[in-house]
A and B are shown apart, each in its own frame.
Chain A
């Protein structure tokens, strides 16, 4: 069965520090997709990135970067030079054929950036 584990329940950092959010997934499929979403205090989930299982290249978007490693079944998310606006709950999710391509979410990591 599909499973996503975000072992860090809550993280606090001081503004301008770098922070990495961990995500470990389980799937038996060879074709699957991984996602990160941000949920600010307002509640709406904001899509950040989608990565398919055949593309292990790391991706950078501004202060955000993602490290996908199939060897360790991990898809970690790093925020560089964190800002107060980064404070939110971040969810990692998996979509695969065995799950009918529905999203399986981790329980989320609450990030607090302290000014």
Chain B
């Protein structure tokens, strides 16, 4: 089955620690995205990548970092510089990122930082 996997589903960390969220897709999509969702809010774009070894900042990139070394993988690191990291994080992919194609989403990771 083709799809997007994110792990883990729930993640707990102490304040001051960096944490990396995994996102893998086997849809052969070129573009991948990371979003953050806070309670009662829409999705806000953190980073996106249209091609391997290239990525761009979204609306709220501060305190986050990404890499795109393989087409299938787009991990997100939440650094200690992110002031309010507790949120629901969603990864998505699309055929390409330049023509308004629909995005398909993974199941998400709920990060809690205390």
Q: A residues near B, CB below 8 A?
A: 4, 9, 31-33, 35, 37, 42-47, 50, 52, 91, 95-96, 100-103, 105-108
The CA-CA distance from A30 to B102 in the complex, in Å, is 18
The CA-CA distance from A106 to B40 in the complex, in Å, is 11
Residues on B with beta carbons closer than 8 Å to the beta carbon of A103? 43, 45, 103
**Given A45-B105, A105-B44, 17 additional A-B pairs, CB 8 A:** A9-B40, A35-B102, A44-B90, A44-B107, A47-B102, A47-B104, A52-B100, A91-B42, A91-B43, A96-B100, A100-B97, A101-B97, A101-B98, A101-B100, A106-B42, A107-B41, A108-B41
Residues on B with beta carbons closer than 8 Å to the beta carbon of A95? 100
19 residue pairs from A and B, CB less than 8 Å apart: A9-B40, A33-B100, A35-B102, A42-B107, A43-B88, A43-B107, A44-B90, A44-B106, A45-B92, A50-B101, A96-B100, A101-B97, A101-B100, A102-B48, A102-B97, A103-B45, A105-B42, A105-B43, A106-B42
Residues on A with beta carbons closer than 8 Å to the beta carbon of B101? 50
The CA-CA distance from A32 to B100 in the complex, in Å, is 7
- Which residues 4-39 of B have a CB within 8 angstroms of A? 33
Q: Judge if B114 is at the interface, Cβ distance under 8 Å.
A: no
- The minimal Cβ–Cβ distance linking B4 to chain A, given in whole angstroms, is 9
Residues on A with beta carbons closer than 8 Å to the beta carbon of B48? 102
* Total B residues in contact with A, Cβ cutoff 8 Å: 26
The CA-CA distance from A52 to B45 in the complex, in Å, is 22
Most chain B beta-carbon neighbours within 10 Å: one of A4, A42, A95: A95
Residues on B with beta carbons closer than 8 Å to the beta carbon of A91? 42-43
Inter-subunit contact A47/B103 (CB<8 Å):
yes
- The minimal Cβ–Cβ distance linking A5 to chain B, given in whole angstroms, is 11
The CA-CA distance from A105 to B43 in the complex, in Å, is 6
- The minimal Cβ–Cβ distance linking A51 to chain B, given in whole angstroms, is 10
